[in-house]
Structures are given as C-alpha cells and as structure tokens.
Amino acid sequence: MKFATMNCLDCGKPARGTVETVSSVALVNDPAPDGTMEYSGETEMWWDEQRTVRDPQGRVQLVCRNGHDWFSEVLDPDGLSFEVELPLPQSGQDEGSKP
C-alpha cells in the first residue's frame, strides 16, 4: 500500500497506520433484583464490520506516532490513485461477527 501523503503534515513522521472504526457490544451482567444492570468488563468486537475511515473524497485517514492525523489518497504501485472495494458484511455467526 502506498499513500500520496506518506508523512504527517504536522511533524513529518511517517504514517503509523490507518484510522479504523469497529462496532462492538459492551456486555452487561444479568439484572439485579432492583432491575439495574452493570457493565461486565468485557466487550465483544465485531471485526467483520471493521472499516477504514475515509473523507467525502474517498481519501483514507492516517495517523502518525505522535497522534496527528490527516487524509491521503491511496496509490497503486505505479503511483496512480485507486479505490479499494471492501466487501459488505456477510450475515452469519462467525467469531467476530454480530450474533
């Protein structure tokens, strides 16, 4: 993978990675007698729904080791801009997918 803007616009450091969004469910314990529920301390990640954050122009969001972020086009090996088609989430009960 190659990016049009590989280095941070604030500090000049190279990209550490892409910013991603991942859905999850924070599990709760069974209800107490008074009806209240508390967080169990565990979260199930729905990895099948992981997506790279993109701006309206389709550029990916990158982040450097200093925590700065910016958007950049993804380039193919010849330096041409291209879009990555991500598959839509499939229904199913595989680990990392919604129950």
Whether 58 is covered by a domain: the verdict is yes
Q: For the chain, 99 residues long, give each residue's pLDDT as a single digit of tens.
A: 789 999 999 999 999 999 999 999 999 999 999 999 999 999 999 999 999 999 999 999 999 999 999 999 998 755 555 555 544 545 544 445 555
Total domain count for the chain? 1
Whether 60 is covered by a domain: the verdict is yes
Whether 81 is covered by a domain: the verdict is no
Question: What is the 3 state secondary structure string of 52-99?
Answer: ECECCCCCEEEEECCCCEEEECEECCCCCECCCCCCCCCCCCCCCCCC
